Amino acid sequence: MSKPDEPFERAEVLDKPGIVGARWWHQGLAEAPKDASRRSAILLALGAVGLAGAAVAVAAAADGCSDEETEIQRKRALDMQRTFGWSFGAAQESVTFDGESKKPFDQGALARMSTDLRPADEALRAYYVPSLFESPHATPTVVAQGDPAPVTPLVNVLRPIFTLAMDRAYRSGKALASLLLAARTDGGLRRDILVIVDLDGPESVAFAAGAAEAFEPVFTFDNWPHPRGVVKAHLTLAAAAYYQPLFGRAAPGPRATMFVLDRQRLSAYSDDAAQFDNRYVARLPAADALRDRGVRHVLYVVPTDLDTIESDDLNDDLVAYRARQLDVRMMAANVFTPDPAEAKPAVETEDWPPYYYGGSAASHGWFWVDYPWGPPPLPPPVEPSARVRRPGKLYTPTSRATPFSSGSTPGGAPRVPEPFGTVPVVVALGTGVILGAALSRSGSWNRASGGYGG
């Protein structure tokens, strides 16, 4: 290893395809005075190439900016955020909240979020993933040597949001709950139907909020927000903050179970420099565990009738459910719409307009025809218009190869392909200490500020 202040001499020239920046890097070094120290020569090279290439240059000469050799390693993104802060590698950047709510907001309630949104049924808590809801008040335990900028606590920037898409999802969830409430017997609400909601994060939260009277939500959000996060988890968190008061008032008595997923958890990812890989896979209970709870029917909720295949990380689970004689069907959330023929009340309330299965009050009960898990209500419902596409009623999960296939029997834990859900970091080889993130324009590797909208 070279000493920082000894004269710098170029020992080798790299000018080959695939060696990013080799020409301008060596050109910068060649222009340095012969008696320049190694550190000074590097700084001169950086000045020659300009800010745009600085991150690559520093990565190429990291041993000249440290007292020991370094290398790039990949670490689990959530682990790095828990250790160094939610904005690890982008401490001077933040997030934006499109659809910010104007309603009064009790910021202090965020400290109770992971408790307020926890299942009331203790048997379901084994499947609850509180990671996202723990992020607002989490504090770093270590300051990265190469990225010492203070991290603004997430609680200080978090704002609740409410969007039109969330409103539609909330009303759709409420419509589904009304079907289960209407089918209740002397024994109470049916608990043999399990719902898996796989919408974009904010809409999944809203759907669960609307359905909360009949379904107990089990949230599975296993990531944290990040200014450059490929999964816009800050929007899911902001939606949860909006509905937190509702979830905090748990409905009395046992309810059916609803697993709440963020469909964006498998978002496309391609650029280590511009994106932070906060993706994760969903984990659902085993088929036998569901059968032990009395579940016999599984309803998988997707955004629209154009979505006809389950998310890749769920294929093994849903195939295993079917193999254990659980009836698995799919339903599009957009099958619920308001009835255009319904008269508007003189005084509108937050519940107006109600949504119905098939788009009309007369067709609402047709759900029990498309999904024959109970007797149709009386009077007999009307079949929805042919314009209302309902392919999900014919859905059957079929085993297929995905990047997350367990590779063994269906129903095994999803395989997490490398480098899924990890981020590049700079590690000191001698000590194993993590010096900082290897994101471009981040940390001491190349300080800059800015923001990333969601």
Cβ atoms of 242 and 161 within 8 Å: the answer is: yes
Q: Work out the angle at residue 136's Cα, subtended by the Cα atoms of residues 134 and 138, and round it to the nearest 5 degrees.
A: 65
**Distance (Å, whole) CA 189 – CA 343:** 30
Cβ atoms of 157 and 139 within 8 Å: the answer is: no
User: pLDDT tens-digit profile of 344-398?
Assistant: 888 777 888 999 999 999 999 999 999 999 887 878 899 999 899 999 999 999 9
Cβ burial, residue 86 (10 Å; 0-12/13-18/19+)? buried
HSE at residue 139, side-chain half, CA atoms within 13 A, is 2
Question: pTM for the full model?
Answer: 0.82
**Nearest-10 crossing angle of helices 201-210, 233-248:** 10
93: phi then psi, degrees, rounded to nearest 5: -105, 165
229: phi then psi, degrees, rounded to nearest 5: -60, 130
Q: Which two tokens stand for residue 447?
A: 């300080």
* pLDDT at residue 67 in the model: 53
Look up residue 142 and give its amino acid: V
297: phi then psi, degrees, rounded to nearest 5: -135, 140
Distances in Å between the Cα of 398 and the Cα atoms of 40, 196, 317, 320, 414 are: 62, 17, 11, 10, 16
Reported as a pLDDT band with limits 50, 70 and 90, residue 65 is: very low
Cβ burial, residue 385 (10 Å; 0-12/13-18/19+)? exposed
Sign of CA dihedral 190, 192, 193, 195: positive
- When pLDDT is averaged across residues 268-284 and rounded to a whole number, the result is 90
Reply yes or no on whether the pLDDT at 112 is more than 60. yes
Q: How many other CB atoms are there within 10 angstroms of residue 23's CB atom?
A: 14
Distances in Å between the Cα of 344 and the Cα atoms of 212, 338, 348, 358 are: 25, 11, 8, 19
Domains of the chain: which residue ranges?
Answer: 1-65, 95-139+160-223+240-394
* pLDDT at residue 142 in the model: 92
* pLDDT at residue 62 in the model: 41
User: pLDDT tens-digit profile of 187-240?
Assistant: 778 899 999 999 999 999 999 999 999 999 999 999 999 999 999 999 999 999
Cβ atoms of 282 and 313 within 8 Å: the answer is: yes
Cβ atoms of 446 and 55 within 8 Å: the answer is: yes
The SS3 call for residue 391 is helix
Reply yes or no on whether the pLDDT at 435 is more than 60. yes
Instruction: Enter the DSSP assignment of 346.
Output: S
* pLDDT at residue 413 in the model: 61
